[in-house]
Amino acid sequence: MKTIIEPFRIKTTEPIKIISRKERIKALKRARNNVFLLDAEDCCIDLLTDSGTGAMSTKQWAAMMLGDESYAGSKSWKKFERTVQNITGIKHIFPTHQGRAAEGILASTQIKKGDVIPNNSHFDTTRANIEFVGGIAVNLLCKEGTDTGDISPFKGNMDPEKLEQCIAEHGREKIPFAMLTVTNNTGGGQPVSMENIKTVKSILNTHHIPLVIDACRFAENAYFIRQREKGYENRPLIDIAKEMFSHADAATMSCKKDGLANIGGFLICNDDTWAESFRNLLIIREGFPTYGGLAGRDLEAIAVGLMEALEYDYQVYRQATVRYMTRKLEEMGVPIVRPAGGHAAFLDAKKMLPHIPALQYPGIGVVNALYIEGGIRGVELGSVMFGGFDADGNEAASPLELVRLAFPRRVYTQSHFDYLIEVIKEVWQNKADIPGYKITYQTRFLRHFTCHFETV
């Protein structure tokens, strides 16, 4: 087989700067050892997130010129609505400025204090939005999902038994809806099978509990279903996506991922009463329902981007990149989450740095070493992001200590990835010198964004 190439050529370039190791040490110190506080221009390859960092296509840029900036009922809105409806088959469509705005509206309108929201794994903003209104976010990930070495094809699945138990324990009245996050970002970008979506939906149906899909990476999930699930070989990705959404009552979406746009999101639902409550809050928080916090040109770019994310050749190239990276890392013996996820390579920092206890944040150790050695910016998904405090104020560790190297869509070429592999190799060879960290400043919600670290 020939090399899988990028299915595009580059028309516009953006320079990147490589500062010296000495300068990087100084920059990290200024950022209080938290890479979120670095200046982006001091990062030569920025893998902090795949969110809003993608490159738009010529068709998207062209569509932006067609942006209709009318306050109400613009042509761009019509195009956006038609596209989202075509992919999801869902009735009511509300644009939002990004995914967390959709989550905030859903949580504020549907969750009462003490309510329980099951999910395979909540993303941090989803959890924060639920907890902010007094809800309890519970993760019911399947067993394989927490074993980083397990190579099951659908490690993002929810455990149906745990879902049954959760409903039996709390009762239907306490569960206004359940969620499924496709792909499961925090568990390694692992997909959810169609079978699991159907099983979860049928359990929820018996108890009259609606299913909400967190659809940020729905097209990547559709691609995995096509590659790995029986009966979906050769099916167009749009058909698979339609089927996924046919089991959902509502969905939240960040178009900064599989919308291939730099900003945007949506909240959609079938139920008219839910729609009414969403509309009311949308107008207060985001904007008139036909633009919801976005410019007409953003709606245009998203309408094109959503369809481009469902192009098979694009997904083949994207997943080849992730596999290329993970295969090289496996060859070097670096512990990673297997199999390759959809949008990122995940390093297993707990296994990489066994000399650092969880509450000295091995993930931060790896993230900071990657920055110092090569100017690479990754992100910790471990005890800093997901660990919390128990009722007595004791800090609890997260079950996994991962480092995510998220791949912006259509941005970096193979030589960038080869450089990245060289940097990881250096960090891996010198792992014994990596220190643990302690937190010297933190906030109550989403502390990882702003906290300060010192080495211990």
> With CB under 6 A as the contact rule, which of the stretches 107-115, 121-129, 234-242, 306-314 interacts with ligand F0G?
121-129
The tokens for 60 are: 């998207």
Q: How far is the CB of 298 from ligand F0G (least distance, A)?
A: 13
CA angle in degrees (0–180, nearest 5) for 6-7-9: 80
Alpha carbons 146 and 377: distance in angstroms, whole number:
25
Q: How many C-beta atoms surround the C-beta of residue 67 within 10 A?
A: 18
Based on CB atoms, which residue is closest to ligand F0G, 8 or 449?
Answer: 449
The tokens for 192 are: 């959810």
For position 98 contacting ligand F0G by CB under 6 A, the verdict is yes
> With CB under 6 A as the contact rule, which of the stretches 15-23, 94-102, 350-358, 424-432 interacts with ligand F0G?
94-102
Residues 23-62 that bind ligand F0G (CB under 6 A): 49, 51
Instruction: Tell me, residue by residue from 216 to 255, as one string, x for binding to ligand F0G by CB under 6 A and - for no binding.
Output: x-------------------------------------x-
Please name the residues in contact with 134: beta carbons below 8 A apart, sequence gap of 6 or more. Answer: 111, 112, 113, 114, 115
- Among 360, 130, 294, 318, which residue's Cα sits nearest to residue 221? 318
The tokens for 196 are: 């699991």
Based on CB atoms, which residue is closest to ligand F0G, 129 or 360?
Answer: 129
Three-state DSSP state, 310:
coil
Among 256, 318, 377, 431, binds ligand F0G (CB under 6 A): 256
- C-alpha 18, offset from chain centre: 27
- Among 213, 149, 66, which residue's Cα sits nearest to residue 346? 149
> One-letter amino acid identity for 354?
P
Alpha carbons 285 and 289: distance in angstroms, whole number:
11
Among 126, 319, 326, 398, binds ligand F0G (CB under 6 A): 126
Number of residues that bind ligand F0G (CB under 6 A): 15
For position 100 contacting ligand F0G by CB under 6 A, the verdict is yes
Based on CB atoms, which residue is closest to ligand F0G, 33 or 49?
Answer: 49
Alpha carbons 133 and 437: distance in angstroms, whole number:
32
Alpha carbons 220 and 222: distance in angstroms, whole number:
5
Based on CB atoms, which residue is closest to ligand F0G, 286 or 434?
Answer: 286
How far the first Cα of the chain sits from its last, in Å, is 50
> With CB under 6 A as the contact rule, which of the stretches 123-131, 227-235, 289-297, 432-440 interacts with ligand F0G?
123-131
For position 155 contacting ligand F0G by CB under 6 A, the verdict is no
For position 265 contacting ligand F0G by CB under 6 A, the verdict is yes
Q: How far is the CB of 106 from ligand F0G (least distance, A)?
A: 11
48 and 378 Cβ atoms separated by less than 8 Å: yes
Strands 92-96 and 250-254: unpaired
Q: How far is the CB of 391 from ligand F0G (least distance, A)?
A: 27
Residues 165-194 that bind ligand F0G (CB under 6 A): 181, 185
Among 46, 115, 214, 229, binds ligand F0G (CB under 6 A): 214
Q: How far is the CB of 303 from ligand F0G (least distance, A)?
A: 17
Based on CB atoms, which residue is closest to ligand F0G, 83 or 126?
Answer: 126
Instruction: Tell me, residue by residue from 318 to 357, as one string, x for binding to ligand F0G by CB under 6 A and - for no binding.
Output: ----------------------------------------
* DSSP annotation string for 137-205: EEE-B-GGGG-TT---TTTT-B-HHHHHHHHHHH-GGG-S-EEEESSBGGGTSB---HHHHHHHHHHHH
* Bridge partners for 380 per DSSP: 403
> With CB under 6 A as the contact rule, which of the stretches 28-36, 118-126, 312-320, 435-443 interacts with ligand F0G?
118-126
Alpha carbons 148 and 334: distance in angstroms, whole number:
12
- Where are the strands (E) in 262-420, listed by range? 265-269, 344-348, 376-377, 379-381, 388-389, 395-396, 402-406
DSSP state of 216: T
Based on CB atoms, which residue is closest to ligand F0G, 33 or 98?
Answer: 98
For position 303 contacting ligand F0G by CB under 6 A, the verdict is no
Based on CB atoms, which residue is closest to ligand F0G, 109 or 254?
Answer: 254
Based on CB atoms, which residue is closest to ligand F0G, 181 or 190?
Answer: 181
Based on CB atoms, which residue is closest to ligand F0G, 124 or 159?
Answer: 124
CA atoms within 13 Å, Cβ hemisphere of 290:
14
Among 76, 119, 125, 383, binds ligand F0G (CB under 6 A): 125
> With CB under 6 A as the contact rule, which of the stretches 77-85, 120-128, 222-230, 282-290 interacts with ligand F0G?
120-128
Q: How far is the CB of 132 from ligand F0G (least distance, A)?
A: 14
Q: How many C-beta atoms surround the C-beta of residue 433 within 10 A?
A: 9
Among 94, 123, 223, 324, binds ligand F0G (CB under 6 A): 123
Q: How far is the CB of 261 from ligand F0G (least distance, A)?
A: 10
378 and 405 Cβ atoms separated by less than 8 Å: yes
- Contacts with ligand F0G by CB under 6 A lie at 49, 51, 98-100, 123, 125-126, 181, 185, 214, 216, 254, 256, 265
